A and B are shown apart, each in its own frame.
Chain A
Amino acid sequence: MIYFIWMILAQSYRLIVTIHDWQLYHVVLYGVGAYTSGMLAKNLGVPVFAAIPLGGAVASLAGVAITSVLLRTKGWGFYIATYGLAELIRLSWMKFRNPFGGSTGIIDIPYPPVVAGIDFSARIPYYFFSLGVMLIIMYMLYRLERSRIGDSFKAVSMDPLLAASTGISIPRQRLLACAIGGFFAGIAGGLLVHRLGAVDPKLFNITTMLYLLIWIVVGGTNSFWGPVLGVSVMYSLFELSRPLIQIRPMFFGIAMILVLLFMPGGLEGMVAKAAVRLRRLRGVQTAEAE
């Protein structure tokens, strides 16, 4: 379940990374989705399946708002400022007990209803529901990357000046990436909150963001399969290392640093290299056979 949510987060984050806007508010947008969806369902009685996409929409708006303030800030200042503004949102959840419930958060958030005889509040149906949502989102992102929009994102990240000279509006593309990425992060938040039935600001702190970065960096960001690998391998390790909960962050921190230093393409890069080598090896063998 959580694995699907991580996958959505990682894939939507990678979309933003393809335009080279590494930001530190993605996890907070996930929180915005969770809070919005949870509060809509609990306080206004919006049906859960309508509240989740609405949460996505609000998260998308929040992402666009943050990035539009910082469009002209470059490099390192941009990363820090995204962290700061994310904290602003998160701290406001802690600060305003009404309506956000302060640091203890919100409880008694409605579970999904029974639809067509399937009780989505139960574990197994919800599992398949999330799986379905994840697959749909992944398919959409997969197609998006191969569309004109995906190409223009890559053009911007590779050579902004050249991209601008071919008529691509860089600010508009960056905001578009934020809007799409933020929407899916918000959906992930909605999926989380209607399963947990509760939400609190601690779920979305910088530590969670760092873990997201670790999954992405270790997996590799060059292709669609990087985050898939990163989340699959690292999240499994994360779960397996539960008994070592206290020193776990150190392990993952070191893993990320080592990957950055010695494996710039991440796991995905390594697999790609191995595949090339394997193919070459096979090519040699078939050539010899002939």
Chain B
Amino acid sequence: MNSQLLLQTIANAGAVSAMYAMIAVGLTLAFGVMQMANLAHGHFFMAGAYTVYALYALHDWPFWFAVAGAVGIGAVIGLAVERGIFRPLRGDVVGGFIATAGLMFVFEVFMGEVWGWGHMRQVPSPYMRAVKFFGASVSFQRVIVIPFAIACIGGLLVFMRWFRLGRALRAVAQDPEAASLQGININRMTALAMAIAGALAGISGGIMSTIYAVTPALGGHIILPALIVVVVGGMGSVGGVTLASILLGFIITFVTTLVDGVTAMMVSVAVMALVLAIRPQGLMGHVVT
């Protein structure tokens, strides 16, 4: 591996890490607040990608307007899933989990029927320029997700620490019953968490749509690494999940470049098994008793 390829791989790994972080942070936030998680979260990401495809590639909206649309669509889907599935099934962890597995089928078919099966939708890149550093050139489009992820996750952390509603999210995650006694409406908080999760998935899907081939199977491809990141990082821990995203983003990108994608997935699953064997609650998860 020469130095140019190395730098390029590092840049790619950074981008992949940023994408995983945005997907997985939403997933873990929703998990923390509801104690239920969403297998169809990758399909929220896919919905974001299709939104940008439809608005930007087909209808010539400005790219960032299209991404904003993806955020909105993601949030709306998140709210709908909270209302339709998680709220009625609250407390039934297995049920919620299986129901969103069914939802994966629903989304996949829906996207396939609307946008065509087997068609790869290529979204043209709005930024053809490349960033050069240390002699390596990295496409601007590929790394632009990094500052976005930092802004979004940083914003989320600030929100959860310093804002009334953000603190309420944390309170619900730690003790829903005690939180409701403080006047917090739990239903509103789970809806908020799912909206944020959906919006984060939507924005990352929107930005990454120019790099990935957009197909109905995209959601299914992205969910496994995202789930691994959440499990490794620790369910409900935003910090742990961000750390795990970076770890797995680098592992997956480097192994993919050096060997192949299948091996990369195998290595990351093995890392997950190792982490869970040593720390069953994940790197920074709290022990649930």
Tell me the A residues contacting B by CB distance below 8 Å: 20, 22, 69-70, 72-77, 79-81, 83-85, 87-88, 91-92, 94-95, 206, 210, 213-214, 217, 246-250, 252-257, 260-261, 264
A249 — which chain B residues lie within 8 A by C-beta?
A: 105-106, 108-109
- Pick 26 A–B contacts, CB within 8 A, sort by A: A70-B273, A73-B276, A73-B281, A75-B93, A76-B37, A76-B93, A76-B97, A77-B231, A80-B227, A80-B228, A81-B272, A81-B273, A85-B269, A87-B224, A87-B265, A95-B260, A95-B262, A95-B266, A213-B98, A249-B106, A250-B109, A256-B99, A257-B102, A260-B92, A260-B98, A261-B89
Query: Majority SS of interface residues in chain A?
Result: helix
Interface residues of B in 86-121 (CB under 8 A from A): 88-89, 92-95, 97-99, 101-106, 108-110, 112-113, 117
Provide the bound-state CA to CA distance between A256 and B98, in Å: 8
Q: Which residues of B contact A261 (CB under 8 A)?
A: 85, 88-89, 99
Given contacts A69-B276, A79-B97, A80-B231, contact A253 B102 (CB under 8 A): yes
- A222 and B102 alpha carbons, distance in the complex (Å): 20
Would A74 and B276 be within 8 Å (CB), given that A81-B231, A95-B262, A261-B99 are in contact? no
7 further A-B pairs in the complex, CB-CB below 8 A; given A22-B97, A74-B280, A210-B105: A20-B94, A22-B94, A72-B280, A91-B262, A250-B105, A257-B102, A261-B88
Within 8 A of A (CB), among B249-289: 260, 262-263, 265-266, 269-270, 272-273, 276-277, 280-282, 285, 288
Q: Is the CB of B288 within 8 A of A75?
A: yes
A247 touching B265, Cβ below 8 Å: no
- B191 at interface (Cβ–Cβ under 8 A)? no
Binding site for A on B (CB under 8 A): 31, 35-37, 85, 88-89, 92-95, 97-99, 101-106, 108-110, 112-113, 117, 220, 224, 227-228, 230-231, 235, 260, 262-263, 265-266, 269-270, 272-273, 276-277, 280-282, 285, 288
With both chains docked as a complex, state the minimum distance between the C-beta of A73 and any C-beta of chain B, in angstroms: 4
B257 CB to nearest chain A CB (Å)? 16
A84–B277 Cα gap in the complex (Å)? 14
